[in-house]
Amino acid sequence: MVNCVVIDDNKEIVDVFCDLLELCNIEVLAKGYNGQDAEKLYEKHRPDVIFVDLLMPEYDGFYAIERIRDIDPDAKIIIVTGDLKAGESALLDSYKVDIIIYKPFDVHDIKQAINDILLR
């Protein structure tokens, strides 16, 4: 079974997203609410996949991606975001993140993203 960590500053989104992951038979190891949580939870659990929101107060998704890449350059990171600006897209390319799920998301988007990232 594939396992993951979910990070988003909106606790309701985290809960809904985790429910959808469970429908996809994905085990949620931990939930976090900012980029610092992402770093700590990735280090602790070493999940198969980590889902990270980009825009969060305090420590954002870019902070999380950078720190996770320091821990594991091959970490499987999927971005979950409501909007992506051109500058953010270029920054994600530099961090080697190329799977993005846009909010609002559905089960098909999640399954496809997981299949795509695990096949790499």
Do residues 2 and 31 lie in contact, with contact meaning Cβ atoms separated by under 8 Å? no
Domain architecture of the chain: domains with CATH: 3-118 (3.40.50.2300)
What confidence score (pLDDT) does residue 82 get?
Answer: 86
State residue 92's pLDDT score: 80
Distances (CA, A) of 85 to 54, 55, 67, 88, 90: 11, 11, 22, 5, 9
pLDDT at 84 over 90: no
Taking residues 68-87, report their average pLDDT. Answer: 88
**pLDDT tens profile 19-34:** 999 999 999 999 999 9
C-alpha pair distances (Å), 81 with each of 1, 17, 40, 72, 110 = 25, 12, 21, 22, 13
SS3 (DSSP) at 56: coil
* pLDDT tens per residue, range 89-102: 777 878 788 799 99
- With bands split at pLDDT 50, 70 and 90, how would you rate the model's confidence at 86? low
Give the pLDDT mean for 70-85. 91
* Terminal CA-CA length for the chain: 17
Whether pTM exceeds 0.85 = yes
The Cα diameter of the chain in Å comes to 35
Write the burial class of residue 19 (CB in 10 Å: 0-12 exposed, 13-18 middle, 19+ buried).
exposed
Each residue of 1-23: pLDDT tens digit? 999 999 999 999 999 999 999 99
CB count in 10 Å sphere of residue 36: 17
pLDDT of the residue at 87: 65
User: How far is it, in rounded angstroms, from Cα 54 to Cα 62?
Assistant: 6
